[in-house]
Amino acid sequence: MLTPLKDKSVLITGGTAGIGLGLARAFARAGARVAISGRSRDKLDAALARLRAEGLSAAGHVADVGRPEDVARLLSETARNGLDVLCCNAGVFPSAPLESMSAEEWDQVQHTNVRGNFLCVQAALPYLRQAEYGRVILTSSITGPVTGYAGWSHYGASKAAQLGFMRSAALELARDEITINAVLPGNVLTEGLRELGEDYLDKMAAAVPLRQLGSVDDIANAALFFASKEAGFITGQTLIVDGGQVLPESLDALAG
């Protein structure tokens, strides 16, 4: 039994859709005070309305995680009454072949997925230091840290970079008893994943030993654990949540 997160303050970047919205729902159900952010005002309003319709409340803020001025405003608005948990979840995964990828396409992915983590963790530090126990949870991926996928060299690099960032940050944050860990989702059915098309979804579901795509709740359950008081001796670590997708050595192994 984990200590309840009642009244803990949680900020979830990219909380307006997909995994982030699932995190918002799970933390709100656990009794936490939740704030979500994203770049689009329309998506933010729709997400807040969805949560309200489910009897859950959250605050919402428009902010691009790769822009220092947005991040400073986001933290000052959401954390002025305290911040216990920061979920760095905002991420983008456009596809582009390496041969024709522009430097701008490369930078756009690093802007959100890597720079966004750095800026948010740095801006959250003064607030997390004041918490009873501060927690940072990164949403990384199996793609990059463990696996590869054609068209995602920029994305894979960004998701592996998150872990390099995390391991050094863990040592600096440990002085203040703040932990930082990463969840590595496999293929989780979200708005963003659906945009990759039915063919992609079918192929991925077939590659998962547990024979289905993940749900946002699967990722949220791992994040709730990392956020708990009981996970306080775990830092700089990764947890793969992928239905076993990275396990098979061959298609034969999958069939068995």
Kindly tell me which of 14 and 134 has the beta carbon lying closer to ligand NAP: 14
Cα distance between residue 189 and residue 200, in whole Å: 11
Kindly tell me which of 135 and 154 has the beta carbon lying closer to ligand NAP: 154
Beta bridge partners of 241: 185
3-state secondary structure of 82: coil
Structure-block tokens of residue 39: 């770049």
Total Cβ atoms within 10 A of residue 147: 17
18 binds ligand NAP (CB under 6 A): yes
Catalytic annotation, pick one of 127, 133, 149, 155: 155
193 binds ligand NAP (CB under 6 A): yes
141 binds ligand NAP (CB under 6 A): yes
Tell me how far, at minimum, the Cβ of 3 lies from ligand NAP, in Å: 26
Binding residues for ligand NAP restricted to 147-186, rule: CB under 6 A = 185
User: Which of these, 100, 103, 14, 96, lies nearest to 60 by C-alpha position?
Assistant: 14
246 CB-contact burial (10 Å; exposed 0-12 / middle 13-18 / buried 19+):
middle
DSSP-assigned letters across all residues of 183-201: EEE-SB--HHHHTT-HHHH
Tell me how far, at minimum, the Cβ of 175 lies from ligand NAP, in Å: 27
Q: Which of 61, 64, 165, 235 binds ligand NAP (CB under 6 A)?
A: 64
Q: Which of 9, 78, 117, 139 binds ligand NAP (CB under 6 A)?
A: 139
- Clarify whether 155 is annotated catalytic: yes
Q: Can you give the binding site for ligand NAP, defined by CB under 6 A?
A: 13-14, 16-20, 37-40, 43, 64-66, 89-93, 112, 116, 139, 141, 185, 187-188, 190-193
